A and B are shown apart, each in its own frame.
Chain A
Amino acid sequence: MIKQNLGELEEKSIYIIREAKSHFKNVAALWSMGKDSTAMLAIARKAFLGKVPFPVIHIDNSIDFPETYKFREDIAKKWKLDLIVAESKINEELSGFACCGANKTVALKKVMNDYGFDALIVSIRRDEHGIRSKERVMSPRDENFKWNYKNQPAELWNDYSSKLDKKGHMRIHPLLDFNEIDIWNYIKKEHVPVNPLYFSRNGYRYRSLGCTNCTVPVKSNAKTVDEIIKELENTKIEERSGRQQDKEKERTMERLRAFGYM
């Protein structure tokens, strides 16, 4: 995995988050308590003189890991976050695609409409998935949260699209250029707090965090940030290999995203 220049990546993210904040009236960010969205909040704090200037949304299906809830309370307090918990109900009969589609996406739609957010910061990265690799930094969604991926707006240089379907919202992707290993190097450099689930216990650790139903840990002995970085330098395995929703069929991610998933 290629390590990129952290200073440059961070500058670009700062610029994007500030652009989002100046273009849109009502910005929010998704926070899953995972490594990427927590690193994004650390960058936002640097961009905005020490505080996160927008509400952060946790889509909570009440079956996240206990460590995740504790991490949420600790960091929200420490960083004085304006936390919105959007409850999503789990349908026991569904899993994977149907579950993410029915639960997370529906809950997200509700919270976006209730609060009238016109922009949503989402900490996805290009190297996570072939579909996410095709994203723009600023990517519009229509009223039904649909991603019109066959007709994305132009995005030359840093001229980010600010045009928006009147009833839709803009997805903002400030971490698009980061690789997984860059996130960990950034966490190390900036001492960003990490959800303990990422560290190895009994020979396994979570490399990508979803909810308890659909995320499985990967074999690993990495117990520290340094050991994770070392592990990633040599890995040939996909980051989201422990995520069921990516795997069912080749079009799953595309269909999920077309319906408004992250």
Chain B
Amino acid sequence: MKINKVTLLGHKDHGKSTLIGNLLIATKSTSKERIEEAEEISRKLGKKFEPAFILDSFYEERKGGLTIDTTRAQIRYKDMAFEFIDVPGHSELIQNMLSGASYANIAVLVISAKIGEGIKKQTERHLFIARMLGIKHLIIAVNKMDIVNYKKERFDEIKSEISKFLSAIGYEEKNVSFVPISAYTQENIMKKSKKMDWYSGKTLLEHIYAASKNGRKKDYGKSIALMQGYLENGVSCTVLSGKISRNPFYLIPGYDKYGISKIIVKGRSVKEAKTGVNAVIYSNKKFPADIRGKILCNEKIVPKKRFGAQVFLVNNLENPTLRFNGNEIKCNIKIKKVIYPLRNKTINSIKPLEAAEAEITADKALVTLPFDTLKELGRFTIYSGGKFSGFGTIKE
């Protein structure tokens, strides 16, 4: 069964973990033992039953009522399966949020309708990150509708405010859907709520189902494999696009041509290795020692030392390095234009938790492609003094 990966997004305490916890219970996707454990702990901590405890397993998470690190839970729905990725909502835990959200192709933003909650900095930040991570389909779940007496006006107010922000960061209307829910009382999650007859749209799970049906990706025209390292006399590699067959290929950087004499996949000799496969390839000509991170391609791609990218910072930059396809490379990051927060456009430097368009100059030439063309060759992480400091996506 194909598993569609769905990340949750949103400010702390707006109900992400509670939503997944209740989904697990409602779809009978978790064991009685885990539910009973959550009940017992809720009781011990003097709280009312907290479905989030099915996911929040660390003592500190349960006691503090927060998600510290990302976790996953799977449910089956109709002929599909979804893997929900829970993430922390606290801004200081953003690297854990990224560690979860980067695997998703669909996102559900949970935003509380409660007066005084609504749109927060972290709500916008998570949406911006989803955009940068290339998550095309968004579902905005306006939560805690029970607390605002299921009022349409409050839902409309939040919908219009978020719509403005989403269009400013480049989301198309057709890829965004809105649903009013109550995670705690299960309104509009699996079944249509009777308390919100003014809403005639899909339930949350139906929205996720519809978004999952939409996500077919086109294959990039060229055949490309990313070289991982020597494995005995061959080289292990991952096919990123097209297929690797016993034909001549360019090894890039450099345009040396290599005839492929043998391809081994999972211990067997094969004629070709398709996209997504990890192969071991052999050539009669010796591959160079520094093979890691080079690519094999049936056409020439020009390697670049300088390229344009969007970067999101998590920590301050000081002598930054890029981690790109298995290598760590020194680089210079020149900020061109602030793109998040939206209001800072005239300033040309950014702080942690902000994003910008940047010009990156790497110490050596890299084979890059725009993130939208082939994501594996269009994304990188940034480190600074060994510390995770952000990530980026390549634009050109």
Interface residues of A (CB under 8 A from B): 2-5, 8, 10-11, 14-15, 18-19, 22, 45-50, 126-127, 129-131, 133-134, 136, 149-150, 152-157, 159, 163, 179, 236-238, 241, 250-251, 254
Contact = CB atoms under 8 A, between A and B. Distances in A.
Interface residues of B, number: 55
A208 B174 CA distance: 47
Contact of B57 (A46, A133, A155, A163): A133
Interface stretch (B32-40, B302-310, B336-344): B32-40
Contacts of A157: 102-103, 379
B205 to A, nearest CB: 15
Contacts of A153: 95, 388
B264 interface: yes
A150 B57 contact: no
Nearest to B99: A155
Given A152-B69, A237-B31, A49 B278 contact: no
Interface in B172-213: none
A18 B231 contact: yes
B99 A136 contact: yes
B148 interface: no
B33 A241 contact: yes
B229 A156 contact: no
5 contacts: A19-B228, A150-B68, A153-B388, A156-B102, A236-B28
A152 B99 CA distance: 10
A4 B60 CA distance: 32
Contacts of B31: 236-238
Interface in B46-97: 54-55, 57-60, 68-76, 81, 95-96
Contacts of A130: 34, 54-55, 57, 71
A48 B228 CA distance: 13
Given A14-B278, A236-B31, A126 B72 contact: yes
B381 interface: yes
Interface of B: 1-3, 28, 31-34, 37, 40-41, 54-55, 57-60, 68-76, 81, 95-96, 98-99, 102-103, 228-229, 231-232, 236, 238, 264, 266-267, 276-278, 280, 292, 314, 323, 326, 379, 381, 386, 388, 391
Contact of B391 (A4, A45, A156, A163): A156
A1 B41 CA distance: 25
B352 to A, nearest CB: 13
A134 B69 contact: yes
B1 A2 contact: yes
Going nearest first, the 4 A-B pairs with the smallest beta carbon separation are: A130-B57, A154-B388, A156-B102, A22-B229
A30 to B, nearest CB: 22
Nearest to B53: A130
A159 B57 contact: no
A87 B163 CA distance: 62
Contacts of A179: 74
Most chain A beta-carbon contacts within 10 A, residue among B76, B267, B277: B267
Contact of B71 (A4, A133, A251): A133
A18 B40 contact: no
Contact of A2 (B76, B236, B267, B379): B76
Contacts of A250: 37, 40-41, 59
Nearest to A149: B58
Contact of B266 (A10, A159, A237): A10
Contacts of A237: 31-33
Contacts of B236: 18
Most chain A beta-carbon contacts within 10 A, residue among B81, B98, B236: B236
